[in-house]
Amino acid sequence: MTGIWLAYAVYAYQNLYQSTGVSGVYVGTQPSTADQATEAILAEYSRLADQSLTPQELAEGKQQFKGQVMLSLENPLSRMNRLASVALHHDRY
């Protein structure tokens, strides 16, 4: 949705589990542009399903993920949630 300017907030998320997961997109937009924003999101999901990521997109995604993990380690609650998740899902640290 970069450059389209249909939303004032866009947030993508995923919850990964041992054998499954879920992902989604939150969009803050005006009612008048909600349909266009939905179409743009669906088009991007379709593109991801039909094409592989470019090397640059993959590198940027990996870097962002690493940064999020590092920042989450600064928060004690996030650290405990991460440790508990590892213990529950993998039974190892």
Q: Render pLDDT for 30-66 as a digit per residue (tens, 0 to 9).
A: 999 999 999 999 999 999 899 988 999 999 999 998 9
Task: Answer yes or no: do 59 and 76 share one domain.
Answer: yes
What is the 3-class SS of the chain, one letter each residue? CCCCCCCCEEEEEEEECCCCEEEEEEEECCHHHHHHHHHHHHHHHHHHHHCCCCHHHHHHHHHHHHHHHHHHCCCHHHHHHHHHHHHHHHCCC
Task: Answer yes or no: do 32 and 2 share one domain.
Answer: yes
Task: Answer yes or no: do 59 and 69 share one domain.
Answer: yes
Task: Answer yes or no: do 10 and 28 share one domain.
Answer: yes
Beta bridge partners of 26: 11
Task: Answer yes or no: do 33 and 16 share one domain.
Answer: yes
48 near 61, Cβ under 8 Å?
no
pLDDT at residue number 91:
62
Task: Answer yes or no: do 43 and 59 share one domain.
Answer: no
Q: Is the pTM of this model over 0.75?
A: no
Task: Answer yes or no: do 26 and 38 share one domain.
Answer: yes
pLDDT at residue number 32:
92
| Structural domain total, the chain | 2
1 near 7, Cβ under 8 Å?
yes
Task: Answer yes or no: do 9 and 29 share one domain.
Answer: yes
Task: Answer yes or no: do 35 and 65 share one domain.
Answer: no
Site of tokens 């999101």: 41
Query: Which domain, by its residues, includes 64?
Result: 53-93
